[in-house]
Amino acid sequence: MNQLTLEQVLKMIEAAERWARDIAGSPCSIAVVDKAGAVIAVHRMDGAGMATTDIAIEKAWTAVAFKMPTLMGSRWLDPRNIGKLLGDHAMGMIGRGKGRLCFIPGGIPVTNEENEVIGAIGCSGVPSGVGDISDTSVSQAGVTALYE
Amino acid sequence: MNLEVAKKLLQTGIENAKEMGKVCSIALVDENGWLVALHRMDGAPIPTAEIARDKAWTAAVFRRPSSEVSAYGDPRVPGFGLNVQNWNDRLTTIPGGLPIWENNHLIGAIGVCGQTPREDVLIAKNILKDIFAEEKDLESERRKPRKKYGRR
């Protein structure tokens, strides 16, 4: 599997939507981009805020651009972590990437069997901080569905 | 416009495009121009996704097909210069965006991009025809010129 097809992407998004509706219980936007960061599909669930589509796309773009979950980057950018991390903080990353970088947790890269990044999924609109329910968990439900 | 309707329209559109042997991007926006759903078919060029969204936005906020917005570029028409005003990144006058009406209410708009403008409009019209067949008939009835008071 070298690249994501629209069918695979829709399967991922459907699963993530189901998870958001049935388990997280909050409407959200879900976006999937290919390995070049180009949008393949975006869905905004009924009731999700109108800005969430763009944020979901940006999270997915950031995840594929750095080949890691945006959750990781959010740790670097957290001012509470200055001086605590092994490396340095990464405040200089704010505003980079032509304004497209978004280090809010919720974007996850999608990898194939050879562990190469073939795309990313991003979710926005789920309030985080309540147990396992967050944007990241919705994205994870989507990634899991790809290999079911 | 809700996601249920948008998915139905997108599915119809992608089947339609596959029948024609074309690849395209299709965007659905709500009545205020905000994105609801966007699909880019396998093999469609990368910028088509964003252009489809632009077309849908233009159709939704101007409440007319995106091709008709270019009439504002005609110096004989009031509002000349709107198309070159550059007040909004999304404004486009490329044909391919159509507003979606339901019972005389604007519920959203569709934007198709990927082929020549003529084929984009054809795909968009086919989608709306399949889904809103009865409304389209009403529309054509209403626009029929009345012969009774016509010029002799």
Domains, in order of start, for chain B: 3-143 (3.30.450.150)
Q: For residue range B8-24, what is the model confidence (pLDDT) as tens digits?
A: 999 999 999 999 999 99
Residue of A nearest to B1 (CA): A46
Q: What integer best gives the mean pLDDT of chain B?
A: 83
For residue A40, which residues of chain B lie inside 8 Å, CB to CB?
Answer: 39-40, 49
Looking at the complex, report in whole angstroms how far the Cα of residue B135 sits from the nearest Cα belonging to chain A: 24
How far is B71 from B80, CA to CA, in rounded Å? 8
For residue B7, which residues of chain A lie inside 8 Å, CB to CB?
Answer: 43
Which of A40, A28, A30 is CA-nearest to residue A4? A40
Of A38, A44, A45, the CB nearest to B49: A38
Range A63-76 average pLDDT? 89
Say if CB A124 and CB A107 are below 8 A apart: no
Looking at residue B79, what is its pLDDT?
Answer: 63
Spell out the residues 6+ positions from residue B117 whose beta carbon is closer than 8 angstroms to its own: B67, B94, B95, B96
B136 vs A112, more confident: A112
Tell me the ipTM for this assembly. Answer: 0.85
Q: For residue range B65-82, what is the model confidence (pLDDT) as tens digits?
A: 988 887 776 777 666 666
For residue B2, which residues of chain A lie inside 8 Å, CB to CB?
Answer: 46
| pLDDT above 90 (res B58) | yes
| pLDDT above 50 (res B152) | no
Q: For residue range B20-46, what is the model confidence (pLDDT) as tens digits?
A: 999 999 999 999 999 999 999 999 999
Looking at residue A43, what is its pLDDT?
Answer: 96
Looking at residue A72, what is its pLDDT?
Answer: 86
Looking at residue B138, what is its pLDDT?
Answer: 47
Enumerate residues 53 to 112 of chain B having a beta carbon within 8 A of any beta carbon in chain A: none
Spell out the residues 6+ positions from residue A90 whose beta carbon is closer than 8 angstroms to its own: A73, A76, A77
Extents of the domains making up chain A? 6-146
- Looking at CATH, the fold of the domain delimited by A6-146 is given as Beta-Lactamase (3.30.450)
Q: Tell me if A6 and B42 make a contact (CB, 8 A cut-off).
A: yes
Asked if B32 reaches chain A (Cβ–Cβ under 8 Å), the answer is yes
Say if CB A39 and CB A56 are below 8 A apart: no
Say if CB A106 and CB A143 are below 8 A apart: no
Q: For residue range B125-148, what is the model confidence (pLDDT) as tens digits?
A: 988 887 776 555 545 545 555 555
Tell me the pLDDT band of A87, cut-offs 50, 70 and 90: low
Instruction: Suggest the residue from A8, A40, A124 to mutate for an interface test with chain B (most B CBs closer than 10 A).
Output: A40
Q: How far apart are the first and last CA of chain A?
A: 14
For residue B46, which residues of chain A lie inside 8 Å, CB to CB?
Answer: 36, 38
Amino acid, res. A5: T
Q: Model-level pTM?
A: 0.85
| pLDDT above 50 (res B114) | yes
Residues paired with residue A29 on neighbouring β-strands, in sequence order: A44, A124
From its phi and psi, is residue B77 left (phi > 0), alpha (psi between -120 and 50) or beta? beta
